[in-house]
Amino acid sequence: MDPFGDALLAVRLLKRDPAGLGGMILRGAGPGRDAVLAELGPMRRLPVGIDDEALIGGRDLAATLAGQGGTVRPGLLAQADGGLLLVSMAERMSDAVAARIASVMDIGEVVIERDGAGARHPARFGLVLLDDGQGKERVPDRLAERLAFRFDLSDVRLMEQAPVTPALSRGTASSSNIAPVSGTPGQARGDGIRALASVSLALGIDSVRAPVMASRVASGLAELENRAEPNEADIATAACLVLAHRATRMPSAAEDDAPPPPPSSSDGESQIGDTLDDVVLEAVTAALPPDVLAAIAAGAGRCTSNSSGGGERRKSPMRGRPLGARAGLPRGGARLALIDTLRAAAPWQKLRGADLASGDRIAIRRDDLRIKRFETRADATTIFAVDASGSAAAARLGEAKGAVELLLAEAYVKRTEVALISFRGDSAEVLLPPTRSLTRARRSLADLPGGGGTPLAAGIDAARLLGEAVRGKGRTPFVVLLSDGRGNVGAEATMPAAKAFGASGLGAVFVDISNRPRSEGAELAAAMRARYLPLPRADAVGLRDAVKAAQ
Amino acid sequence: MRAAFPFSAIVGQDEMKRALLIAAVDPKIGGVMVFGDRGTGKSTAARALAALLPPLGKGKPVPFVDLPLGATEDRVVGALDIERALGKGEKAFEPGLLAKADQGFLYIDEINLLEDHIVDLLLDVAASGENVVEREGLSVRHSARFVLIGSGNPEEGELRPQLLDRFGLSLEVRTSQDLDTRVEILRRCDAFERTPDAFAADWAKAEKKTLNKIAKAKKLLPELTVPDDVLRAASELCIAVGADGLRGELTLMRAARAAAALGGKTLVGVTQLRAVAPMALRHRLRRNVLDETGSTARIERALSELFD
């Protein structure tokens, strides 16, 4: 495992074919990443909060007014054609921006259909995403999926690195001892494709894009050494570079139809046909990054993004996504919609006596003025913090899950978001980052384990942190705490946690689900400045109604 | 734009291919919504279909309009031509994407990310077949008959149910877990990438065959009759699965007819009904959030109870 050397090798590949390989994700700020960026050379930067005008392009208004009709200004994506685009803090990128970029990557060109302009520009580029995400924050899945490489360079200290030479950067430690090419060229290519398909399957990688990109990387590796066809070492290296970080499960011998193969190092020739698959699989398994291993161990191999989903939208004249224009004056923060204003004024120019052909000014009246409307997203994000400990009996947990699903079903009609935190044993965990996807919510609810101690303080803290993060993104969080209020793990921390929550000013309701509510529940709710709802015998529907009423 | 991957060369994904062919044969089917995980070839199939379709009269190719995210309303419905208005003082209508898509297909990748008001507008026009523009002193109406094809990933947030119901067919696409299938997919992607022209040539015959199949089916469609017992079976199925509204039953019949036409049949049978029932009904079942059973499984169960 040498992420730094691998990253440098990936840089060379990426420079040869930026669009074909999509790009790379670089995680972990530090000297290692700086060195890799230096190796990449100068790149255009893409700000995460970029608007459509700058990203996609639009009408060149100055040129239009000067009478040079049909002028369209290309956006950043078209300008990056043939090169690389650098995105800092890519984990903050919104779904909307990520989706626009992804669709451009898919067809290799930008299609402009906005503000009176229509045009297509070639846009074949690679992305370099800098990921500084904490915890579950990640770069948008739909972009990660389209990028061949991902390296975590947080632990790379530059002193360790020998001077970079092409020979040294070639190959990973795990694949460097693989036998050279064997068989006919066509055969080798076919076997290589088969090996990549089989390894992706073994690692639980569903997308077809991954092995396709791995195959491109293998060809690129061969080209770097002036060979026409990739050899076995190329295939293994490509699999380590492209497939390892996408693994969602450990390859298990039980899933193979064939009997367990003998260790390939001792007897490499015995199983013709399977050999390459095994060798590559072994190399990739050895190259699984530590964070991927941890994710697999936690049963959450599929990296889920902080998909910001949807949420109830609120029309606003100030910010958010553009929503068209309406008649009005640009004041009080409202911005002038120039194109729409011109459109409104245009039909009347003759009547108003302007002779534009001879260079007259456009006659614009007050009634023509149009202002932009925007919408801001997701007013409400409901955060459920569910006590999944042994003291909250299984049946109660079931009702709580039911209530969450009922609220979710409404949330996705109303486009609000829901998040889910569970606490049990000795810690709390964000099972579901804010989303409006019923599919994802249902999946994480189904996996919700029960039993163990009640780390109530940890649960309250986790709810507060998530609530504050949600608020930081301009939404209004609302916390629903479902518990019997009897913390028995770190119990002395419960009251301080509740007070900290109260001080944060987050809206909340504490649903006491114990069979016989006691005064401590009410005290806890008071400390949290939350509404107190003792619901000893409530079923899913009752819980749902109570939460809705409290909210 | 890159050459499209040949439709006939798409490995597996039979239901998606069938649905797209049905929509090509009978545009009145009311649109196709494709749900699926990433990298399952949703867009590839839709774009491949565009390249394949038989031309309209006078050799004009069937329009396939890709609606980009970030498209503004004026470009979608059409608006005052601002060049001419400002340059020459003329009041002229500049047609939008809806006009371009007339007689063809309108494709929206990641439809769940499109602005709500644009999706609503699209569905209204798709249903009425006519685009009415009343803005900026313009008053224009033009024909806009197109098949809406949407794709999306349910993990990114769901489509509103009232919206979903207005799609004729809906699909769930998954990646095959069979090694040989996956190897074949990779082989074809690899071959297409290395020598796209040679690959297209290899598949030209198969493409021609598919195209002929569509053309023949289109001709056959008006002559197809649906026997009473098949009509009854369709109603029974809709009642059994609790598919709301008449729209489900109507779509089911239309899809079965198109499927029969594609198969060169002159009579619609229960076989065709069964083949299209999941795609015509799965998005119309009343949703029980506490029931984990997927819609497809519920339809399959009802099908085997009714017909086996």
Kindly report, residue by residue over A139-178, the tens digit of the pLDDT: 888 899 999 999 998 887 765 555 444 433 444 444 444 4
Nearest CA in chain A to B66: A111
Whether chain A has a CB inside 8 Å of the CB on B100: the answer is no
Whether chain A has a CB inside 8 Å of the CB on B82: the answer is yes
Residue B88: list chain A partners with CB under 8 A.
Answer: 356-357
Asked whether A237 and A171 are in contact (CB, 8 A), the reply is yes
Residue with the bigger pLDDT between A82 and B81: it is A82
Reported as a pLDDT band with limits 50, 70 and 90, residue B161 is low
Residue with the bigger pLDDT between A30 and A317: it is A30
Nearest to A52, CA basis, from A94, A17, A19: A94
Highest mean pLDDT among A411-425, A489-503, B83-97, B150-164: A489-503
Write down the H helix ranges in B195-294.
Answer: 196-220, 228-241, 245-262, 270-281
- Cβ <8 Å between B72 and A113: yes
Provide ipTM, 2 decimals: 0.85
Reported as a pLDDT band with limits 50, 70 and 90, residue A68 is low
> What whole-number percentage of chain A has pLDDT above 90?
22
Reported as a pLDDT band with limits 50, 70 and 90, residue A370 is confident
**Mean pLDDT across B116-138:** 81
Question: What pLDDT is attached to residue A326?
Answer: 73
Reported as a pLDDT band with limits 50, 70 and 90, residue A358 is low
What distance in Å separates the CA atoms of residue A80 and residue A127, rounded to the nearest whole number? 10
Nearest CA in chain B to A407: B289
**Model's pTM, two decimal places?**
0.71
Question: What pLDDT is attached to residue A40?
Answer: 93
Instruction: State yes or no: pLDDT of A414 exceeds 80.
Output: no
- Cβ <8 Å between A442 and B86: no
**Mean pLDDT across A425-442:** 80
Instruction: State yes or no: pLDDT of A119 exceeds 80.
Output: yes
Reported as a pLDDT band with limits 50, 70 and 90, residue A366 is confident
Reported as a pLDDT band with limits 50, 70 and 90, residue B217 is very high
Question: What pLDDT is attached to residue B139?
Answer: 85
Reported as a pLDDT band with limits 50, 70 and 90, residue A312 is very low
Reported as a pLDDT band with limits 50, 70 and 90, residue B304 is confident
Distance from CA of B272 to the nearest CA of A (A): 30
Question: What pLDDT is attached to residue A261?
Answer: 42
- Cβ <8 Å between B1 and A108: yes
Angle, helices A519-528/A494-504, rounded to nearest 10 degrees: 40
Whether chain A has a CB inside 8 Å of the CB on B134: the answer is no
**Mean pLDDT across B44-65:** 80
Residue with the bigger pLDDT between A94 and B38: it is A94
φ, ψ dihedrals at A294, nearest 5°: -65, -40
**Mean pLDDT across A348-365:** 70
Question: What pLDDT is attached to residue A66?
Answer: 64
Instruction: State yes or no: pLDDT of B157 exceeds 90.
Output: no
Reported as a pLDDT band with limits 50, 70 and 90, residue A110 is very high
Whole-number CA gyration radius for chain A: 28
What distance in Å separates the CA atoms of residue A62 and residue A71, rounded to the nearest whole number? 9
Separation in Å, CA A473 to CA A308, A463, B26: 10, 16, 46
Q: Which of B66, B74, B179 sits opposite A116 (nearest CB)?
A: B74
**Mean pLDDT across A46-65:** 80
Residue with the bigger pLDDT between B1 and A275: it is A275
The contacts of residue A268 (CB under 8 Å, 6+ apart) are A179, A275, A279
Instruction: State yes or no: pLDDT of B284 exceeds 80.
Output: yes
Q: Which of A198, A323, A342 sits opposite B82 (nearest CB)?
A: A342
Residue with the bigger pLDDT between B306 and B262: it is B262
Question: What pLDDT is attached to residue A167?
Answer: 39
Render pLDDT for A522-537 as a digit per residue (tens, 0 to 9): 888 889 988 888 877 6
For chain A, give the mean pLDDT: 77
For chain B, give the mean pLDDT: 84
Question: What pLDDT is attached to residue A309?
Answer: 36
To test the contact with chain B by mutation, choose from A111, A143, A196, A242 the residue with the greatest count of B C-beta atoms within 10 A, namely A111
Which one-letter amino acid corresponds to residue A527? A
| CA A207 to chain centroid | 16
- Cβ <8 Å between B156 and A216: no
Question: What pLDDT is attached to residue A316?
Answer: 46
The contacts of residue A267 (CB under 8 Å, 6+ apart) are none
- Cβ <8 Å between A95 and B287: no
> What whole-number percentage of chain A has pLDDT above 70?
76
Question: What pLDDT is attached to residue A306?
Answer: 34
To test the contact with chain A by mutation, choose from B38, B91, B136, B185 the residue with the greatest count of A C-beta atoms within 10 A, namely B38
Residue B43: list chain A partners with CB under 8 A.
Answer: 106
Nearest CA in chain A to B88: A357
Residue A145 zone, left/alpha/beta (φ > 0; ψ -120 to 50; rest): alpha
Per the listing, tokens 């409307």 go with A373
- Cβ <8 Å between B289 and A408: yes
The contacts of residue A102 (CB under 8 Å, 6+ apart) are A142, A143, A146, B110
Nearest CA in chain B to A432: B155
Residue B160: list chain A partners with CB under 8 A.
Answer: 412-413, 415
The contacts of residue B307 (CB under 8 Å, 6+ apart) are B233, B270, B274
What is the number of alpha carbons within 13 Å of residue A87 lying toward its C-beta?
29
Question: What pLDDT is attached to residue A242?
Answer: 94
Nearest to B251, CA basis, from B228, B284, B224: B284
- Cβ <8 Å between A209 and B39: yes
Asked whether B23 and B169 are in contact (CB, 8 A), the reply is yes
Angle subtended at Cα B127 by Cα B125 and Cα B131, rounded to the nearest 5 degrees: 25
Contact pairs from chain A to chain B, CB under 8 Å: 204
Least confident window among A8-12, A440-444, B65-69, B127-131? A440-444
What residues of B are annotated to the active site? 247
Whether chain A has a CB inside 8 Å of the CB on B189: the answer is yes
